[in-house]
Amino acid sequence: MVIRILRWGEDKRYDRMRHNVGNLAVFFIFQGLWVWTVTLPVTVVNASDKDPSIQAEDIIGWIMWFVGTIVEILADKDKFSFKNSPESKGKWCEIGLWKYSRHPNYFGDILLTWGYFVASLPIIEGAEWLVLIGPVFLTLLLLFVSGLTILEKSGDKKFGNVEAYRVYKKRTSPLIPLPRSIYGNLPYWFKAVFLFEFPIYNRYLNRNRVLINLMALPTLLEHDIIELLYVQSKDKTEVEFVLPYLWIHEFVDEVLKLCWRVSDGGK
């Protein structure tokens, strides 16, 4: 992280916070709470006077921590190399671990944090089980608040109109590294239930596609109304999945404009 900051400067996402003291205070308090919560298992273990022999949970937890740390380091290294390449401009990262996961760094972070918890199992008892809040908090935070959700939205807005990007998202696991040949052929329900491919990660991708449809609507309907259903896709099933995301008021507005043009003799 230090190398990344020295190379590219601070994270631009936080620029607006420094202009508001309240937001800045909330941000730093939240960061402190985040660190305290995530390290709860370590805190409880270090505060305990128990000294049990090494058990299976210790070994499993250490392995999880080690693998998670290595994955996060390699993912950050791959991303650093990608961003340093002149050829990366206008592209998304698909090198190294990023070929198998859209967010391998977050996978490593989550895995090592759960490793803390598993390694603490021989020690914790009673109310100390509340340390489970640590890994659960981090997992939910990265999945639904500050991690995947923000980056998926950003990527969809930048590249959502690029067919290769849509194929990349369809074939690449959002979190757990998997070969594309396996992940790409799994049914969507399986991806959503077991591999964290939640609809929220494609919300802006689908919205992007619908806006393209609506912008082209007047011209398309002049020729054949069916073209609306197949714009940019010959797969009826895929389009039917997109259509529920239509912004109804914009759809109605475009239809009314079209009707006005038809009644006015196409002028």
Structure tokens that stand for 257 in this block: 């404009």
Residue pLDDT, tens place only, 102-135: 999 999 999 999 999 999 999 999 989 999 999 9
What is the C-alpha to C-alpha distance for residues 197 and 125, in angstroms, rounded to an integer? 34
3-state secondary structure of 235: coil
Residues in Cβ contact with 164 at an 8 Å cutoff, skipping those fewer than 6 apart: none
């489970």: which residue's tokens? 132
Instruction: Please check the confidence at residue 244 and state whether its pLDDT lies above 60.
Output: no
Mean pLDDT of the 72-86 span:
92
Write down the domain spans for the chain.
39-197, 205-263
pLDDT above 90: residue 7: no
Degrees, nearest 5: CA angle 139-140-144: 125
DSSP 186: S
Listed in sequence order, the DSSP H helices in 52-187 are: 56-84, 104-120, 133-144, 148-159, 163-171, 180-183
C-beta atoms surrounding 34 within 10 Å:
15
pLDDT for 120 equals 94
Residue 262 confidence (pLDDT) above 60: no
What phi and psi values does residue 101 have, to the nearest 5 degrees?
-150, 140
Say what percent of the chain tops pLDDT 70: 70
| pLDDT tens sequence across 185-202 | 999 999 999 999 999 998
Nearest to 257 by CA among 209, 204, 214, 212: 214
The model carries a pTM of 0.72
Per-residue pLDDT at 243: 40
Angle at CA of residue 141, ends 71 and 43, nearest 5°: 75
> What pLDDT, on a 0 to 100 scale, did the predictor assign at position 15?
63
Q: What percent of the chain has pLDDT over 90?
A: 47
Q: Residue 25's pLDDT band (boundaries 50, 70, 90)?
A: confident
Mean pLDDT for the chain overall: 79
Cβ atoms 116, 41 nearer than 8 A: yes
